[in-house]
Chains A and B, each alone.
Chain A
Amino acid sequence: MSRLLEGIIEAFTLIIQFDPYLWQIIILSLQVSGGAVALSTLTGVPLGAFLGLKPAGRTRFISKVLYTFMGLPPVVAGLVIYLLISRSGPFGVLGLLFSPAAMVIAQFTLATPIIAGLTMVGIRSRGKEVQETARTLGANRLLTAWTVIRESRFAIFGAIVTGFGRVIAEVGAVMIVGGNIEGHTRVMTSAIVLETSKGHFELAIGLGLTLLVISFLINSLLYYLQGGGENSGWK
């Protein structure tokens, strides 16, 4: 039997038997990426909405910066965060290096420009007219902002899902700032790198399959969101 097929069979066994090592890694991955994306949403959506409501001409420079950071290589983000939080760095006293918190910071750095940038684009198409309509109908500032975000909800959900898809799959940043410590900072991607190099293919394949399933779910969600939630039951 080929090594791949063998690996797949063993991988399924591990997943189904709730192998603690495997599941601990999966759960940590979801926690780190989920936490990072939650923070990125809180900052990126308001930022993107703010920029999306400004005339495109006045945000040209910041848009370019945002687009550049959307494509930031994870290893570069990892390196910069590493230098900032390593013991001799400016935030060294916080002792964050090789901790899940460090990984959250790194992935936050990667996800925020994506969420802000895609929110900006989503809001630009209709945000201004929605904002003006809300105001002519007597909405206060808070309700106006909420209405603008609500009207672009599919684009914004899409932005958040895209951000999550990017960070859950990245390995460079978490490796550098997390250190891939077993039981502490080992996530799916860094575990795949390690287990492959050690020849433990069944574990690597099990994690790879899990990542694929997550990716499939994310893309299904995106597909649905890009259709504007066609068959959704909103009232």
Chain B
Amino acid sequence: MAGNNVVLRVEGISKVYDREVLHIEKLSFEKGKIYGLIGPSGAGKSTLLRLINFLEPPTAGRIFFKGRELDVRGRVDLKTQRGMTMVFQKPVLFKTSVRENVAYGLRARGLPKEEINKRVAVLLEKVGLESFAGRRADSLSGGEAQRIALARAIAFDPGVLLLDEPTANLDPHNIEMFENLILNLNKEKGITVIMVTHNIFQARRIAHEVLFFYEGHIIEKGPAQKIFSSPEDPRTRAFVEGRMVY
């Protein structure tokens, strides 16, 4: 694997709650790619994202971000934390205006006011909600809220965007819109996208690489095309053909 293209690498990582729910020996993510994480529910996909984004410390293992090893058990390094972000299945918007929500990460980074206003305007237009700036965020529909959550997340140009089933609760129109936003972001800014999805067709539509999770392990990983047309592992095959009950 092209060594200097790797933005994120995990080694011997494990998470144990009452039992081990995730165990990955070696895994790396390259800059500018879109990864689709698929697999049955409970397979450990969300756990991996949470470990990567420091929402949870791993029980064992190491994480490297841009070549630097992270102190996963110590205090979270703010600079690294700020290099990535996550959008959850259920958008958690703050009880302020739409504008304030999108500006949150920029304010946290102490950007000047004019710069913030400029960026927020561009972002709102990008997600097609420029007329919503002054609205209460809790008055948005599910699809609108998720688009605002995405605008808020990409406002500060994170190098890595983690998405945990972001379109699971959206209607087809909003799903399409969301996917197009992701594809454009990836193309324009070279942002690395790691997306958990329950929807195999979605992975097929937008992912370059697909990782199949099963009972805490990555069973198979490869170009999307290959995973869907000629999976090697019978469990992967069963899953992508919709024969796996989950």
Chain A residues within CB distance 8 Å of chain B: 126, 129-130, 132-140, 143, 147, 150-151, 234-235
- Taking chain A's interface residues, is the majority helix, strand, or loop, or is none over half, making it mixed? helix
CA–CA, A139 to B100, complex, Å?
14
Query: Do the beta carbons of B92 and A135 come within 8 Å of each other?
Result: no
Query: Do the beta carbons of A235 and B100 come within 8 Å of each other?
Result: yes
Interface digits, B66-104 against A, CB 8 Å rule (1 contact, 0 not)? 000000000010100110011010101011110010001
A235 with B152: in contact, given A136-B86, A138-B81 (CB under 8 Å)?
no
Counting chain B residues whose Cβ lies within 8 A of the other chain, the interface size class is 20 to 34
**A-facing residues in B130-189 (Cβ within 8 Å):** 134, 136, 152-153, 156, 162
The 8 Å CB contact of A130, one of B81, B85, B92, B134, is: B92
Q: Which residues of B contact A147 (CB under 8 A)?
A: 94
Query: Do the beta carbons of B153 and A136 come within 8 Å of each other?
Result: yes
CA–CA, A150 to B152, complex, Å?
18
CA–CA, A135 to B55, complex, Å?
8
Chain B residues within CB distance 8 Å of chain A: 53-55, 76, 78, 81-82, 85-86, 88, 90, 92, 94-97, 100, 104-105, 108-109, 134, 136, 152-153, 156, 162
Q: Which residues of A contact B134 (CB under 8 A)?
A: 235
Query: Do the beta carbons of B55 and A132 come within 8 Å of each other?
Result: yes
Give the residue name and chain of the A residue nearest to B78 (CB).
A140
Query: Do the beta carbons of B94 and A151 come within 8 Å of each other?
Result: yes
Give the residue name and chain of the B residue nearest to A228 (CB).
B95
Query: Do the beta carbons of A135 and B109 come within 8 Å of each other?
Result: no
A138 with B95: in contact, given A132-B55, A143-B108, A235-B100 (CB under 8 Å)?
no
CA–CA, A135 to B86, complex, Å?
10
Ordered by A's residue number, 18 sampled pairs between the chains whose C-beta atoms are within 8 Å are: A130-B94, A132-B88, A132-B92, A133-B92, A133-B94, A135-B76, A135-B81, A136-B55, A137-B85, A137-B104, A137-B153, A138-B108, A138-B109, A138-B156, A140-B108, A151-B94, A151-B95, A235-B96
